[in-house]
Amino acid sequence: MTEPIVLPEFDNFGDQTISGLEAPEEATAASQSVLREARNSGRPRIDDPGDNQLTLERGICREGTWYRNAEVRELTGADEEAIAAAGVGTSAYRVFETLLLRATVHVGGEPMSPKVAAELLIGDREALVVAIRRASFGENLEFERLPCPRCGELVDLTVPLAALPGVTLDEPDRVNFEVPLRHGATATVRLPTGEDQEAVFAIKNNKARQDSEILGRCVLSVTQPDGTEIRKPPAQTLRMADRQAILGFLGETQPGPRLADFSFTHETCGEEVALPISLAMLFRGL
């Protein structure tokens, strides 16, 4: 099986698959392991947007035009109460969604709403939540007494949000992508959105069904070597290797922060230390 591919997952935020899609409950849950093998290998980094403004990778489309500018605001006490209520008896996914809806002012000049949130790519949603964190608590994440897995020394660390790794789209306006499959076939796919993430979240404790849900939504067609096109093929009919190839492509191509890929070099011993950033680590106290 492939590793999870979410969209936001703040725990396995961007494991080169789609994290929160395959494991939506774990995706935004608090990090279960602070240190693990480094995976950050030269990915593009998210630029500091400044103030409460940011530019999304895809944004929303209105009458054939993509609008990528967005604005967030600082969290208030009322937001804190709403976020706490969202987390009672449910998963961290609802906390993420509440953060997104309450503290995003607009996308492309259109006020944030469940409809807008559902249209956004998963990576754009995650970028907005990181921007909300910056607006509410500042640029730096502070860590104390992190144990180095090699030498055991406890490390104090300051991490600027701008230093966290991320992925960008080479062609932001491109909607459909081609994925090579086995035996010469090709799949035409689109990237998952908030609406897709919500559908996967509704499926509990069955990763294979979660995979099928996202594949059923994002695979637009499969073209056979002889040119025959199968539109919207049932996900259950896809070969297992082809399913894995498509899920892997969706996760690797999805733009946005890769918080699970963050690592730092421990100066004392020279060890590269993985420090996956979770939702709980971004918004301590919520």
* Best CA proximity match to 130, nearest among 79, 164, 92: 164
CB atoms within 10 A of CB 212: 18
Listing DSSP states for 113-136 in one string gives -HHHHHHSBHHHHHHHHHHHHHHH
pLDDT in tens, 131-148: 999 999 999 999 999 888
Q: Is the model's pTM score more than 0.85?
A: no
**Rounded CA separation 13/19 (Å):** 6
Sequence-distant (≥ 6) Cβ neighbours of residue 282 within 8 angstroms: 10, 129, 130, 133, 141, 259
**Rounded CA separation 256/57 (Å):** 7
**Rounded CA separation 217/195 (Å):** 10
CB burial of residue 70 (10 Å; 0-12, 13-18, 19+): buried
State phi, psi for 27 to the nearest 5 degrees: -55, -45
Over its length of 286 residues, how does the chain's per-residue pLDDT go in tens digits?
333 333 334 333 233 333 434 344 443 333 333 333 333 333 344 444 457 999 999 999 999 999 999 999 999 999 999 988 887 666 678 889 999 999 999 999 999 999 999 999 999 999 999 999 999 999 999 999 988 888 889 989 999 999 999 999 999 999 999 999 999 999 999 999 999 999 999 998 899 999 999 999 999 999 999 999 999 999 999 999 999 999 999 999 999 999 999 999 998 988 898 999 988 889 876 6
